[in-house]
Amino acid sequence: MARIPAAEIVSESTASGGGNASRKVLKSRLLHHQGDVILVNPTTAPLVETERSAPPTVDRAPVRPGTEQVQEALAAAEKNFERRLAGEIAKAQQIGYERGLAEGQAAGAAERGDREAFLRAIAEGFDRAWETMASNSEPLLAELSARMTEAILECPLPESVRNLSTAALSDAIEGLGETRSVTVTVHPADYMMLEESGILGPLSQNHPNLNWRTDAKLDRGDWEARTDAAVVRRVARELLSDLRDRLGHLDEDNA
């Protein structure tokens, strides 16, 4: 279908009707006879809405903030910065505290272990030194005890010790002389002391079978009570020898 050029269309008004209707008259060279007019019914042209353009914008000059606004903005920014800085500092402090605590605990545990090992070594060394000192000191202590005993026995007997020695002799005579003859040997000086103390008389009266002998080879304070069945001796050297044996079998030559 061919489009009719707009130049070939002519509008003419019509007398009929009450409106402003018009008709289109087409003149076309396409018709076989020139000058023939083709009538067409008038039509209402479609309304075409045109887009309304937005009103032009007017460029406005930028409004500069005042001094108070600038100060308020700076104060707000400073507070925000201080708040963030305080938060970061607190976070860093917490991290540092936890890390330092862990490191301190580890270092403390290691140091405590080292000190315990050191003290344990000292205690073990002290025990060994004590054992060594004890083993080395026992013979010395035994020798010292023996010499002290010997010195005491060689000293003149005080009255209280003499009474004890006399009482021991009396007990020995009582135990041995119930049914048998008893021979008592003492140092001559001790025999004189027994006479002066008045002990010989009562002992001889109570034990008719009691015989007295003196022996200068005995030390002062030594005595011997002998029967046919038993012997009771109180000899300082024998006691000292027995003491040495009990203290470690020390040699009397080292005394």
Digit-by-digit pLDDT tens for the chain (255 residues) are 455 555 555 555 555 544 444 455 444 444 444 455 555 555 555 555 555 555 556 556 555 667 888 888 888 888 998 989 888 898 888 888 888 888 888 888 888 888 888 888 888 888 888 888 777 766 666 666 656 655 555 555 555 545 555 566 666 666 655 556 778 888 888 788 777 777 777 777 777 777 888 988 887 777 777 776 666 666 556 666 666 666 665 554 444
Instruction: Please give the backbone phi and psi of residue 155, each rounded to the nearest 5 degrees, phi first.
Output: -75, 155
Place of tokens 């109570």: 206
CATH class for the domain made up of 156-254 = alpha beta
Which amino acid is present at 130? Answer: W
pLDDT of 222: 74
pLDDT of 217: 85
Per DSSP, the residues of 84-153 read HHHHHHHHHHHHHHHHHHHHHHHHHHHHHHHHHHHHHHHHHHHHHHHHHHHHHHHHHHHHHHHHHHHHHH
Q: How many CA atoms lie within 13 A of 144 on its CB side?
A: 5
Place of tokens 């018009």: 22
Other Cβ atoms less than 10 A from the Cβ of 212: the count is 15
Q: Which SS3 state, helix, strand or coil, does residue 231 take? A: strand
pTM here is 0.31
* Domain range annotation of the chain: 6-40, 76-155, 156-254
pLDDT of 62: 59
Instruction: Say if residues 10 and 24 touch (Cβ distance below 8 Å).
Output: yes
> If 0-12 CB within 10 Å is exposed, 13-18 middle and 19+ buried, where does residue 190 land?
buried
Per-residue tokens: 61: 């000059």
pLDDT of 74: 87
pLDDT of 19: 47
